[in-house]
Amino acid sequence: MFRQTLYSDAMSERIKGRGAQSADVPQRFGLDAREQDGDWRDIREAVDGAPPKLRTTVIAEHPKSVLTFNTSPDLGFDRSVNAYRGCEHGCIYCFARPTHAFHDLSPGLDFETKLFVKPNAADLLRTAFSRKGYVAKTLALGTNTDPYQPIERQYRITRKVLEVCLETRHPVVITTKSDRVLDDQDLLGELAKLNLVTVVISVTSLDPVLSGSLEPRAASPAKRLAALACLAERGIPAHCSIAPVIPAITDEYLESIVEASAGAGAHSASWLLLRLPHEVSPLFREWLDVHFPERAGKVMAIIRECRGGRDNDPQFFSRMRPQGPWADLFRQRFRLACRRAGFDRSRFGLDTSHFRSPSLPAPIDAQLSLL
């Protein structure tokens, strides 16, 4: 295994505003890195004196379906919609990063700068809901990339999906790190009246500086807690997810996040230990080398102790349930914090009994369309 950086082998310079510190990570698929061929890109740093500023690009894609099903025993849902691929929030620990490698793109900087949107996601979802025999169960939004990342304000795809859910009385759970979810308070409020929605807001620390390096383009911790409070005030069920907990980096905030989210009006909380699948592991190790070099060895030693001696445990049943004394300690601390805060176990219990199949526009006669 090897690690490279685009900018400095000594890792002395940080790429500000981005989570990943490079685009080059070990590839699972044997994709060759671009070889130097003497063009201007190979000498631009010498000419310009600094790496070029990274710009975010967005590409529209038009899939034939958008509703994804899973049979994982580790997940509390069996269907999801992801309107975006890639995420500008740039969370260095994001387990969705490896999906960019399937498209010959870097799970590092490409994942947070080269984004894809599905403009017709709501229409595809309406079609899926209208299929004969469809049975409604809770739909998950934000399981792969954040449905309220910055480009949602422009594209409003998540809002359109929620409109379909309200129209069809379909239950939905939203997971986000953004207070941009408040843009859809009107729809969420109507869904909440029918017991059709829960909003999960992820809070990883209470330190804005730390969060700024972990999740450089996500909302600050204060904004996320304020969003929890606003949702709770409007009667919209709000859950706090402390995910991920990073040993020796963010675990010190475990109790204080539980207390703060309870104070904001959240009805429940949960936690999840850091996972490092595939390319996420070298990217996270690189991030540690840049931001916490004095602590990197300790962090990884604890993670490996919780994951059976590996950076990541990919096995069903155990991948979401870390083992060992450190994991037991985190579990006990979380349980005690929830007891003090008055939290029960998280039970979403959304209503599936009011689902109604959507009406689709009548098809246009092929011959008439020629007139």
Q: What is the pLDDT of residue 54?
A: 72
Whether 273 contacts 245, CB under 8 Å: yes
Domains of the chain listed by start with CATH number: 53-343 (3.20.20.70)
Distance, in Å, from the CA atom of 288 to the CA atom of 20, rounded to the nearest integer, reads 11
Q: What is the pLDDT of residues 119-142, one digit of tens each?
A: 999 999 999 999 999 999 999 999
Whether 269 contacts 240, CB under 8 Å: yes
Q: What is the pLDDT of residues 148-188, one digit of tens each?
A: 999 999 999 999 999 999 999 999 999 999 999 999 999 99
Q: For 229-233, 238-242, 315-319, which range has the lowest pLDDT when averaged over its residues?
A: 315-319
**53: which DSSP letter?**
P
Q: What is the pLDDT of residue 37?
A: 40
Question: What's the burial of 179, exposed, middle or buried (CB within 10 Å: 0-12/13-18/19+)?
Answer: buried
Q: What is the pLDDT of residue 14?
A: 64
Distance, in Å, from the CA atom of 88 to the CA atom of 341, rounded to the nearest integer, reads 33
**Dihedral sign from CA coordinates of 287, 275, 57, 147:** negative
C-alpha separations of 126 from 130, 162, 299, 358 in Å: 6, 11, 45, 6
Split at pLDDT 50, 70, 90, the class of 43 is very low
Split at pLDDT 50, 70, 90, the class of 111 is very high
Helix axes of 254-264 and 325-341: crossing angle, nearest 10 degrees: 30
pLDDT above 70 (res 6) = no
Of all residues in the chain, the percent with pLDDT exceeding 70 is 82
Q: What is the pLDDT of residue 73?
A: 86
Q: What is the pLDDT of residues 68-86, one digit of tens each?
A: 999 888 888 999 999 999 9
Both tokens of 261, joined, read 């989210």
pLDDT above 70 (res 347) = no
Q: What is the pLDDT of residues 356-370, one digit of tens each?
A: 999 766 555 545 555
Split at pLDDT 50, 70, 90, the class of 89 is very high
Whether 145 contacts 82, CB under 8 Å: yes
pLDDT above 70 (res 264) = yes
pLDDT above 70 (res 291) = yes
Split at pLDDT 50, 70, 90, the class of 40 is very low
Split at pLDDT 50, 70, 90, the class of 38 is very low
190-204 average pLDDT score: 98
Split at pLDDT 50, 70, 90, the class of 12 is very low
Question: What's the burial of 257, exposed, middle or buried (CB within 10 Å: 0-12/13-18/19+)?
Answer: buried
Residue whose C-alpha is closest to residue 335's, from 280, 276, 255, 256: 255
- At 271 the three-state DSSP class reads strand
Q: What is the pLDDT of residues 306-346, one digit of tens each?
A: 999 999 999 888 888 999 999 999 999 999 999 999 987 66
47-70 average pLDDT score: 82
Residues in the chain: 371
Q: What is the pLDDT of residue 49?
A: 55
Both tokens of 29, joined, read 């698929």
Higher pLDDT, 230 or 320: 230
Higher pLDDT, 18 or 49: 18
Distance, in Å, from the CA atom of 90 to the CA atom of 93, rounded to the nearest integer, reads 9
Average pLDDT, the chain: 87
According to DSSP, the residues that pair with 139 across neighbouring strands are 79, 172
Q: What is the pLDDT of residues 25-37, one digit of tens each?
A: 555 555 444 444 4
256-280 average pLDDT score: 96
- At 172 the three-state DSSP class reads strand
Q: What is the dihedral of CA 170, 357, 194, 164, to 10 degrees?
A: 60
Residue whose C-alpha is closest to residue 139's, from 191, 192, 80, 83: 80
C-alpha separations of 283 from 93, 114, 298, 349 in Å: 8, 17, 17, 37
C-alpha separations of 152 from 7, 155, 247 in Å: 31, 5, 32
- Residue 259, Cβ neighbours under 10 Å: how many? 16
Question: What's the burial of 113, exposed, middle or buried (CB within 10 Å: 0-12/13-18/19+)?
Answer: buried
Q: What is the pLDDT of residue 232?
A: 96
- At 244 the three-state DSSP class reads strand
Enumerate residues 6+ apart whose C-beta is below 8 A from 40.
Answer: 47
